[in-house]
Structure 1
Amino acid sequence: MKFKFFRPKPSPAAAASTGGRVVYAIGDIHGHLDLLDELLDVIARDFATLGRHDRPVLVFVGDYVDRGPASRGVIERLIALTAASAQQGVFEVRALMGNHEQTMLSFLDNPEAGAAWVEFGGADTMTSYGVARPIGRVDQDAWRNIQASFQTQVPASHLAFLQALELSATYGDYFFVHAGVRPGVPLDRQTPEDLMWIRNDFLSQPHRLPCVVVHGHTPDEEPFIGPDRINIDTGAYATGVLTAVRLIEGSPVVLQARKSRRA
């Protein structure tokens, strides 16, 4: 699948500090639990090669749900990872809010958001929670019934996880966010809307901020590593490739999980 979004020219790789931490940023998962589990194994093997004994950080940049078959399973896995992080202290987990999580929460609050969410890939998330996807035109009474059914199927732990998602994370010179930033606007004045949804204004010009922005949201067949931003959304739902980037001192290192080509 060829994505039609803005594709920048190649540029020098980002080289920044993480403040001494080993950070793995994971791109948009979109309901592909198989790829997530494979990528976590790849990350574990990669960290073992570093010969370090400190605590690595896993930063998930959002869009865990929609478009893939296992949104519920992805949320379960992320909840389990977060719990293991707190209980065992082997690694640190930071989970960010994507625009698809925001849209799912909007539907849980307001049935009128259902039609837009289904067009956005939400029907696959409904199915993963055991709720039949709507067929054809659906009136508001039907949407209220679908919402009520969906609310009963989403566990309280899942809702709490989604509501607790962060908008951003910072490690050293790196600023992690789902979509990007408004160029020229200080980080502490960025709006949630831009952090979760911005695209062209961010991609088409340098952001002129004192950080390297690590983001997803805009899929491409290949990750992009530039002087002021790194894009790790390789469209897992379409390409079968889920991407992470390892950040320490020196150049970023790309890690990937790929679906088997076998029939």
Structure 2
Amino acid sequence: MAEPGIHFLDARGPDGVRLYAIGDVHGRLDLLAAMHQRIKAEIEQDRPADWRVIHLGDYVDRGPDSKGVIDFLIEAREREPRHLMLAGNHDIGFLEFLGTPDPEGLFMRYGGVQTALSYGVSLTADASWFGKAETMRRGHAALIEAAPQSHVDFLRSLPFSVTFGDFFFCHAGIRPGIPLEKQNPQDLVWIRDVFHNYSGLYPKIVVHGHTPVPEAEVMANRVNVDTLAWQSGMLSALVVDGADKRILEMAIKEA
């Protein structure tokens, strides 16, 4: 028998644990740092019994400071293990590029050039085939040299999902009809339409990013907090405190 679903309005976080789930950062260290400051101020003021800050993936690509974002997250996790980070498809794409530099892969096609620049490495070249191939070879070698092992270890350490109370957190979403514990990691970081278009209730509310929306999208069965931070200048988070749920926004227009 299928597990009964839950509606967003009825969903609750764990007793005594406030949850913050932050959407796609994409190299916007300024927004991430400002969001952390806001959360820190709230926690110091409200003094919840316990808390978790959950980052929903896509820390790199497109924005100006992917390296700085990873440095920031590593330090945050080492300082306070209640900062949790999940894997996004772009984070995996960065790892894949470091392993095999595919000129047509996700990294090169969707913002990896900016990621490399944050490490001081240029991956752009003249239009000739030889120019591109040589730049790719040299750039890949330089990026391997420039990316600290701690960054590679961090990216490899990222889990695909985490659950608290009535909420399931992942980067992209889930495949309807598959138990949460049996979801394919590929779906957890890539899925879109079949997940977005499903109107039924899930066993838990799925909190995700991956697909940009103009403002945080709260549905009966899911919450999308990817507000295209790298371009819009607005980073969004879902806050859950028992039965209370709200959206927290941090806006900085200039990168």
The reply to whether residue 103 of structure 1 matches residue 93 of structure 2 is: yes
Distance in 2, matches of 1:130 and 1:71, equals: 11
Give the one of 133, 144, 161 matched to 1:151.
144
What is residue 59 of structure 2 aligned with on the other side?
A: 64
Higher deviation after alignment, 108-117 or 243-252: 108-117
The reply to whether residue 184 of structure 1 matches residue 177 of structure 2 is: yes
How far the C-alpha of 1:254 sits from its partner, in A, is: 1.0
Distance in 2, matches of 1:207 and 1:37, equals: 36
- How is 1:130-169 mapped onto 2 (pairs within 5 angstroms)? 130-137=120-127, 139-169=132-162
Distance 1:116 1:210, change over 3 A: closer
How far the C-alpha of 1:135 sits from its partner, in A, is: 2.6
User: Residues 42-70 of structure 1: CA distance to partner in whole angstroms, max 9, x if unpaired?
Assistant: 11222234242x23101000000011001
Q: Is the 8 A contact 2:121 2:142 kept in 1?
A: yes
What is residue 171 of structure 1 aligned with on the other side?
A: 164
What is residue 211 of structure 2 aligned with on the other side?
A: 218
Distance in 1, matches of 2:208 and 2:69, equals: 19
Structure 2: 5+ residue runs without aligned partners? 1-6
User: Residues 153-174 of structure 1: CA distance to partner in whole angstroms, max 9, x if unpaired?
Assistant: 0001111000000100000110
How far the C-alpha of 1:116 sits from its partner, in A, is: 4.0
The reply to whether residue 119 of structure 1 matches residue 109 of structure 2 is: yes
Give the one of 20, 24, 33 matched to 2:20.
24
Q: TM-score under structure 2 normalisation?
A: 0.90
What is residue 4 of structure 2 aligned with on the other side?
A: none
Distance 1:84 1:112, change over 3 A: same
How far the C-alpha of 1:118 sits from its partner, in A, is: 1.8
Q: TM-score under structure 1 normalisation?
A: 0.87
User: Residues 101-134 of structure 1: CA distance to partner in whole angstroms, max 9, x if unpaired?
Assistant: 0110110110225654221110000000010131
- The code of the aligned residue for 1:35 comes to L
Q: Is the 8 A contact 2:126 2:132 kept in 1?
A: no
Structure 1: 5+ residue runs without aligned partners? 1-11, 87-91
For 1:112, what is the secondary structure of its paired residue? coil
- Say how many residue pairs are matched: 245
Q: Is the 8 A contact 2:24 2:57 kept in 1?
A: yes
Distance in 2, matches of 1:194 and 1:133, equals: 29
What is residue 45 of structure 1 aligned with on the other side?
A: 41
For 1:73, what is the secondary structure of its paired residue? helix
